[in-house]
Amino acid sequence: MKKRTLSKKKAVKKTVEPLKELPPNDHRTLGQSLDLFSFHEIAPGAPFWHHKGMIIFRELERYARKVNDENGYQEISTPILVKKEVFQKSGHWDFYRDNMFWFTNP
C-alpha cells in the first residue's frame, strides 16, 4: 500500500499556524471557541465535530434537504473512493496527487 502525506511538522504548520492569525469573528475561530469543532494534526483542514457542532450540522442538513425536496431536487450519494482514472480524466491527478491519500490494489 502506498500513501502520500505531508510531514507531521508541515501538516501542523499548514493547518494550525493560519488559525492563529484569524480574526475573532472567523468561523474557524468561533467554531473552536464555542466548542462546535476542533482541528487536529491527524486530519489537517478537516474539522472534528463536537456534540454541539453536530446538532447544528444535522439541523443544517435537515433544512437543506427540506428546501431541496420542496424544489424538486433529488439527493444522491457518490463513492468516497474512486479509481485514479477519474482524477486523470478530469485533469486533477497531476495537480492534487501529492496531497491525496491513495493506494493500489494487490
Q: Which residue has the cell 485533469?
A: 91
Look at residue 21 and tell me if it is in a domain. yes
Separation CA 15–CA 13 (nearest Å): 6
Positions in the chain whose pLDDT score sits under 70: 1-9, 11-22, 106
Mapping DSSP to helix (H, G, I), strand (E, B) and coil, where does residue 13 land?
Answer: helix
Domain that holds residue 39: 8-77
* pLDDT attached to residue 5: 56
* pLDDT attached to residue 17: 64
Look at residue 58 and tell me if it is in a domain. yes
Look at residue 103 and tell me if it is in a domain. no
Look at residue 90 and tell me if it is in a domain. no
Look at residue 25 and tell me if it is in a domain. yes
Contacts of 72 (CB under 8 A, 6+ apart): none
Look at residue 87 and tell me if it is in a domain. no
Length of the chain: 106
Per-state percent for the chain, helix, strand, coil, to nearest 5: 50, 5, 45
Residue 12, class by beta-carbon neighbours within 10 Å (0-12 exposed, 13-18 middle, 19+ buried)? middle
Mapping DSSP to helix (H, G, I), strand (E, B) and coil, where does residue 46 land?
Answer: coil
Look at residue 43 and tell me if it is in a domain. yes
Look at residue 82 and tell me if it is in a domain. no
pLDDT digits (tens, 9 = 90+) for 54-78: 999 999 999 999 999 999 999 999 9
* pLDDT attached to residue 70: 98
Q: How many domains does the chain have?
A: 1
